[in-house]
Amino acid sequence: MDIIEAAKQAVEAVCPGVVSCADILTLAARDSSEYVKGPTWTVKLGRRDSTTASLDLATADLPLASENLDDLIRKFYKKGLNAKEMVALSGAHTLGQARCVTFRDRIYNDTNIDPDFAIHRRRSCPRNNNEGNANLVPLEPVTPNTFDNRYYRDLMEKRGLLHSDQVLFNGGKTDDIVAGYRKDSSSFYADFAAAMVKMGDINPLTGSSGQIRKICSAIN
């Protein structure tokens, strides 16, 4: 959040009380994708910031690393996103890292995993629940700093890091979507961009609702 706060303060210095933290976050997501050679899209502006904050509300509907396919589809559907949009948005895991505690069960207990991949990941994540919980590894190890469709190839090779990644390609209803994005990166890019726009339209505060925060980490 330090980068978002720095951007907010720079904007406030020249245009106080106009641009919300919500819009800055949305723009940052788009620009970050483009910076690492991913897709770009037109960001709708005019969001306002909440006057309350709740960690429980913010995380209540977030997918868990341990969830199965039907649970994931249900959570995305609740937000107005279909299974194809869910698979496209999951492609964001071409970037980023995950903590050992989120994938330990997969690398030691899942059967739909490449054995060599599991062995390699165990070096960074001990079986003992009291050791290495915060150890980080890339979600996609081959091109971890580039936005591409390598994530889907990993899934087809049973090398998804999280259980919730691998269930997207495990003999279920989303297998064909994964295979399609693995074959056609342009289709993935287009669908990812469209899904990001749609996700950005989920119940934003606009008009006189909410506020324009002066500091993103606190209400005015």
Which pTM was predicted?
0.94
CB distance 189 to 39 below 8 Å: yes
Output the CA–CA distances (angstroms, integers) from residue 213 to 5, 8, 190, in the order listed: 11, 9, 32
Looking at residue 190, what is its pLDDT? 99
- Distance (Å, rounded) from C-alpha 183 to C-alpha 180? 5
- Distance (Å, rounded) from C-alpha 95 to C-alpha 193? 15
CB distance 143 to 130 below 8 Å: no
143 is an annotated ligand-binding site residue: yes
116 is an annotated ligand-binding site residue: no
120 is an annotated ligand-binding site residue: no
Class of domain 69-199: mainly alpha
Rounded to the nearest integer, the mean pLDDT of the chain is 96
- Domain edges within the chain: 2-50, 69-199
pLDDT tens per residue across span 100-156: 999 999 999 999 999 999 999 999 999 998 899 999 999 999 999 999 999 999 999
pLDDT tens per residue across span 86-95: 999 999 999 9
Q: In b/e form, how buried is each residue of 178-200, taking b as 16+ CB within 10 angstroms? A: bebbbeebeebbebbbebbeebb
Looking at residue 129, what is its pLDDT? 86
148 is an annotated ligand-binding site residue: yes
